[in-house]
Structure 1
């Protein structure tokens, strides 16, 4: 079986890879198990040295890796460079903090000595998405490796070049060759990898359908999973909000990565008293964004990664309009080659419309009117998702209270668009998944949280 890579800017096939057969997969899994047995004995400072070397290699080859992302999934080149920089930052941060985060914790009990320790689990499979093809992998893999595990990477089928490039980074950085391995396999082949007795856990970032399938398969084998799935993030603009700040943050949060992000600003819930003024600002912000060739330094929004993604997005826009939404900007598929979709704004969006109920994975903002703050909060929580949420208000104390206590999401921000940070836990609730990545919460997902109780005879 071959894996074809299409350039989303042109629609042309630019590369073709051979998928691995069952025997090769089994050999790689067995090799990962052997590598793990030795790796878990390696001291933390040595593990960290390899990760720091990986950071240096990312920075050294930043231009090449950014170009690969632009080619395979259409990420604007300057955004792709920023993604590589963030990966290098993560590697260094994890290398510096892992020993402290995984240090044994002394607990006073009736025993002479009792403590909690955090040994690794073994081989961990990462099923990763295409939208942040380097960041998502390093976000999962760097802490997992530092905790003493081995990693198998099943990357999205449209970014195999990125998958192999990351594998090469790890090998050149000095990690044992079979400790981190890329598996060029189809989605159908994932089940056999999950079933393999040497694979102890799975992390998946992707669609809800993929998460359900992998979690169900892992559950049959009683294997730990961490899922980061879809999102329909609400951004609340209250009556006292700084509208310029809110419009700017909403535009960036909606259009970053052509809107192909689980934590993009998807439902903009605006108190009616300021809705018209906010909409005017948002239209001005979004219509000025430059769409074009992702290799062009001036491009701010590139194509969508696949033609089917654009078809789905356009269906959601048209069905929402048919149900009563009004189009303020965009909403038409442009002519020419590639999978482009323009910045689009819908208003008068309500529950029952795709733009409200479904995740829109592209540059489409849905403006939803709320009578007041209380209704805005109710509308924000009226979703099956729970990944990110934002509130804009000049009353920062009030905004903090709403974010901390009222919004149902794993990542709640005040006066800023949602983003991940290596120092903070990242993940969702409800249909957005479970478990956490990053920080000390994330690094402990793939360890055995082990109690040790010692009594002197």
Structure 2
């Protein structure tokens, strides 16, 4: 197919149609991005930072326009879309403020020379392949870091939010970014693989499933190109014996249902110790049953539709397979009548190993509740996963929770008595099948930088 048609998941109506570009057109865009990079890399760190401040301002200036487009394309609550754009602007601000310090030359004292300098150089054009669940944030997260580094940036966005990707490119240029330095490629998967192999592309970053990550890593590996992969997860939230259950229920429900349940770092497995299991489940189910699903543009809607009907149908299959293997539907669990890609807030109990609800990532508003004997057993179950992106601990003993997080939780991020998605000041990324590499917190701007060692003889 040579065209992409975006669809409003709340109504099922077509939004816009876009033409895919050919392999030759994509090649020319890569070369134009490389040419823009050749000039951009010569600009000082302070100059780059000032441009990023302009991009942040432009994002705020066009917040309502971009937020509405994201809600129309993927069904996000409009308030969440506005918050997402504000987060993107905050990333620009943070990077502009801290990037020059992070990338400044470092002095060393090597034993075989008078002095040493570690200099961080940009490496070239970085290709990003991004998903639909955060149409602006996923792009900003890698693009702003790499622009600060001095690299050029390419984007292949998910087809169902093509309009959002193109709108971001417009906003970048309105903010003062040089033409072609950030380039959107509306292409298919075959052309995408050719872009990875292009000799002007020096690095690849992907946010997506672990299956997609394996494919991209293989393609990049053939060309010996570095990658950053932020992949799927099955994040566990531990409700320990001493947890405040009212806090635990509120945090766990937010962790599962935020962004219509479609976030890599959503809580997905809720591992509850025997001592508080029954009370937690009763309160947790009541909270899910009270969730109002509907128009994402309405202020009184708690949860909008999923992003596409095929994704919604995949979730239903995972729920059905889990029930066939022994899980129990405590609430929800059935596709409602009517238009759109809606799915109810769902709680599964009696979840055990061998069920999709235990083993896999359910990318929708389905919570898997698992019973643990005690706190130690809960930690064991949490780590019994091929994934390792995030997780959470609910406990009144904060110091004990910090120790568990630091010493025992085998993930990249842990939230204690709270839930969050991302913060510009903290590293973001996972381990195991959740990928590798880090973004945010000063780490992302060095993932695709050449840490150059310069040895200087004694004067």
TM-score range (shorter-chain normalised) is over 0.9
5 Å-filtered alignment, 1:69-80, equals 69-80=70-81
- Give the conservation status (yes or no) of the 8 Å contact 1:317–1:355: yes
3-state SS of 2:337 partner: coil
Q: After superposition, what is the alpha-carbon deviation per residue over 1:402-423, rounded to whole angstroms, capped at 9, x for unaligned?
A: 0001010000121112421110
- Give the conservation status (yes or no) of the 8 Å contact 1:390–1:418: no
3-state SS of 1:439 partner: coil
Q: Give the gaps of 5 or more residues in structure 1.
A: none
CA displacement at 1:211 relative to structure 2: 1.0
5 Å-filtered alignment, 1:341-360, equals 341-360=343-362
Partner of residue 152, structure 1: 154
5 Å-filtered alignment, 1:222-241, equals 222-241=224-243
Partner of residue 414, structure 2: 412
Q: After superposition, what is the alpha-carbon deviation per residue over 1:321-369, rounded to whole angstroms, capped at 9, x for unaligned?
A: 1211111111111000001000000111011111000100000000000
Partner of residue 105, structure 2: 104
Partner of residue 273, structure 2: 271
CA displacement at 1:456 relative to structure 2: 3.1
5 Å-filtered alignment, 1:167-178, equals 167-178=169-180
CA displacement at 1:23 relative to structure 2: 1.7
Partner of residue 451, structure 1: 453
Partner of residue 68, structure 2: 67
5 Å-filtered alignment, 1:363-374, equals 363-374=365-376
CA distance in 2, matches of 1:14, 1:260: 21
- 1:280 is matched with which residue: 270, 279, 282? 282
- Give the conservation status (yes or no) of the 8 Å contact 1:307–1:339: yes
Kindly report structure 1 stretches of 4+ aligned residues shifted beyond 6 Å: none
5 Å-filtered alignment, 1:125-274, equals 125-274=127-276
CA distance in 1, matches of 2:189, 2:441: 29
CA displacement at 1:300 relative to structure 2: 2.0
CA distance in 1, matches of 2:92, 2:57: 9
Q: What TM-score comes out, normalization by structure 1 length?
A: 0.99
CA distance in 2, matches of 1:378, 1:16: 48
Partner of residue 424, structure 2: 422
Q: Is 1:14 the counterpart of 2:39 in the alignment?
A: no
- Give the conservation status (yes or no) of the 8 Å contact 1:233–1:389: yes
- Give the conservation status (yes or no) of the 8 Å contact 1:389–1:418: no
Q: What TM-score comes out, normalization by structure 2 length?
A: 0.98
Q: After superposition, what is the alpha-carbon deviation per residue over 1:383-428, rounded to whole angstroms, capped at 9, x for unaligned?
A: 0000001111111111000000101000012111242111011000
- Give the conservation status (yes or no) of the 8 Å contact 1:234–1:388: yes
Q: Give the gaps of 5 or more residues in structure 2.
A: none
CA distance in 2, matches of 1:344, 1:383: 21
Q: After superposition, what is the alpha-carbon deviation per residue over 1:31-71, rounded to whole angstroms, capped at 9, x for unaligned?
A: 11111111001112221121111111111111111110111
Partner of residue 399, structure 2: 397
CA distance in 2, matches of 1:268, 1:380: 9
3-state SS of 2:18 partner: strand
3-state SS of 2:91 partner: helix
Q: After superposition, what is the alpha-carbon deviation per residue over 1:198-227, rounded to whole angstroms, capped at 9, x for unaligned?
A: 000001001112111111000000000000
- Give the conservation status (yes or no) of the 8 Å contact 2:345–2:366: yes
CA distance in 1, matches of 2:421, 2:79: 17
Partner of residue 310, structure 1: 312
Q: Is 1:33 the counterpart of 2:29 in the alignment?
A: no
Name the stretch that deviates more: 278-287 or 361-370.
Answer: 278-287
| Aligned-residue CA RMSD (Å) | 1.0
Q: Is 1:84 the counterpart of 2:120 in the alignment?
A: no
